[in-house]
Structure 1
């Protein structure tokens, strides 16, 4: 292998692909990045048997070839190279020389034949969405993905596609997040669950360009996201996802309209007395034209209040401060609509108008 490419493109490609590489594996090849010199380009791949990220950048290739290089070491080297161009050469023993300006490194590589093959997505269904739509939908649901794998299916987000609608649903036993958008294309109905870790990487690759499209190709066991020059492949989660519709309260005895920023800042203030060691729920009292918040820990007591438009019977209810903040911070809009049904029923958070998103936060007994 013998090629020359620009440092900037190489650094960006390596840092993105590296995120799919195993940090610790019994298979040394999985701790590396696969590099393939092809005609006019260099192909890079990171894969940890569950998530794979690939890309290709322009290169002047004198000799084709392939090698696996330790991801952490290769990334550290290319980021610190002094010149704008980088030359990579590999000999018959896979020793790779990295040359840039006055710097030169020779590092031991691993034969490319030892790299596992990426899954192939066949019999796929596909849909294309704008980068901004996909980014917003993932951002507004990923916070409610379960972190523990007591129910592995809930460590992912459910995609429901059909009838001109794309819906994402995340649930972790304490809260629920639903985000819905109209799909411009008529697509066949499909349901699948993508791991939260994979969606976190998709989020980092998406741009803020409304014109750019991300295409999703869904197979039986894997999904492929094509994002610009990057391809991300992830396994799909299997199992029975929660019947989330049954968890949403059908009616509400109280409805509140309030400024999102006022609610967030009030929760943040009373949360100053809550620490990992000093846990305590936040007591919320929804009364006529006012929401009062308070909390009490071994450190002391705090209370705060702000104005809101409240209609219905007064409610006193407790919440985990972090879960409440996560939901409020992921609303889009200056105002939110909150629906309550007594102190033991979950809080429903909706947009001021419409139903583009729905967040449920379960209460804590006071």
Structure 2
């Protein structure tokens, strides 16, 4: 089995290719810039003498200095006694994609910069959060484990497009996601994840709205201002008025609700966070729960267990 392997010490990705065993050699990172800019056609990459490689394409030829294959870091995180489980790739990637927007690229806490993958009580939970939003999806699954997967690993799993069943091997230091075509090895974040379940509780104000209409209104409102001003929500009866006002704009749009509210509410949100949250949903209608200007908004899918929280911001 031939293959290509890339590593940044925290994550290792290995592709699998059928064929005869060949010579092992390293391709330096800077060579990929050239490879990515070569004209269409066949590209030949071959090892040379004294730790060099040759790249040829039509009329182009370049030689790179490289290193001994033995210097390439091994994943080194998994052994023979690791725990193992199997997850359908469609379920895994769909849920990872839904919650990934809520995982910050940089965070004050290492656990906050990771996706929580937790199997318990007949469910497989996918959770991402920062200080302002929380996204939680879950699917039926029998098992018992918890892994904190770094955001860059989640993004890599989503980008390479896994298919078929995914075998997940893990121990206290790392995890591997293995299919017929790929092996992705990653470190896992050490620490205890946040008690996300406690953040979701029933609130007195309930309504329902068409997701696409709500999202389009938020995008238009956000487009009309260059300043970081909160969106103002004035909700009453069967209408939700969305407005943003700054030195250059005074935008207002009314979105009709599918369920009438018994009591009015005025509350503010970061428009960007609302847009990102609504984009993560795929259903036609979403359910909304609120309580007061100081309590978060809970958004729930009408056709799955996916739900999210958006914290409010102060408005005048």
TM-score of the superposed pair, with normalisation by structure 1: 0.80
Matched residues in 2 for 1:215 and 1:310: separation? 47
Q: Deviation at 1:103?
A: 4.1
Deviation, structure 1 residue 82: 5.7
The correspondence of residues 121-132 of structure 1 with structure 2, limited to 5 A, is: 121-122=78-79, 123-132=81-90
Q: Give 1:109-148 correspondences, 5 Å limit.
A: 109-122=66-79, 123-148=81-106
Aligned length: 313
Relative to structure 1, the CA distance from residue 363 to residue 87 in structure 2 (aligned partners, 3 Å threshold; closer, same or farther) is closer
Q: How many angstroms does 1:303 deviate by?
A: 0.5
Residue 121 of structure 1: how far off its partner (Å): 1.2
Paired residue for 1:12? none
Which position in structure 2 is the counterpart of 1:154? 112
Q: Give the equivalent residue in structure 2 for 1:235.
A: 187
| Counterpart-to-counterpart distance in 2, 1:78 and 1:288 | 56
C-alpha deviation, 1:131, in angstroms: 2.0
Aligned to 1:301: 250
Distance 1:134 1:335 in 2: 23
Query: Residue in 2 aligned with 1:108?
Result: 65
- Unaligned residue ranges in structure 1 (runs of 5+): 1-40
Match of 1:246 among 198, 201, 208: 198
> What SS does the aligned partner of 1:325 have?
helix
Choose from 235, 248, 260 the match for 1:310: 260
For structure 2, which runs of at least 5 residues remain unmatched after alignment?
Answer: none
Show CA shifts across 1:272-326 (max 9, x none).
2332xx1110001121111110011111211000211233311111000011111
Aligned mates of 2:293, 2:194 — CA distance in 1: 23
Deviation at 1:86, TM superposition (A): 2.7
Kept after mapping to 1: 8 A contact 2:244/2:250 = yes
Q: Counterpart in 2 of 1:37? A: none
Task: Say which SS state the counterpart of residue 149 (structure 2) adopts.
Answer: strand
CA contact under 8 A between 1:121 and 1:219: conserved in structure 2?
A: yes
Aligned pairs for 1:1-366 within 5 A: 41-59=1-19, 64-74=22-32, 76-77=34-35, 80=38, 83-84=41-42, 86=44, 88-91=46-49, 93-122=50-79, 123-183=81-141, 186-187=142-143, 189-207=144-162, 212-248=164-200, 250-275=201-226, 278-308=227-257, 309-353=259-303, 356-366=305-315
SS at match of 2:192: coil
For residues 320 and 100 of structure 1, the distance between their equivalents in structure 2, rounded to whole angstroms, comes to 50
Q: Which residue of 2 aligns with 1:9?
A: none
Cα distance, 1:273–1:292 mapped onto 2, change above 3 Å: same
RMSD over aligned Cα atoms:
2.0
Q: Larger strand proportion, structure 1 or 2? A: 1
- Distance in 1 of aligned mates of 2:229 and 2:208: 26
Deviations 1:236-262 (CA, angstroms, capped at 9, x unpaired): 0012321112222x2221111110011
Deviation digits for residues 169-207 of structure 1 (CA, Å, limit 9, x no counterpart): 111011110000012xx43x1112111111010011225
Cα pair 2:38 2:57 within 8 Å, conserved: no
Which protein, 1 or 2, shows the higher relative CO under an 8 Å CA cutoff with sep ≥ 6? 2
Alpha-carbon distance in 2 for matches of 1:164, 1:218: 19
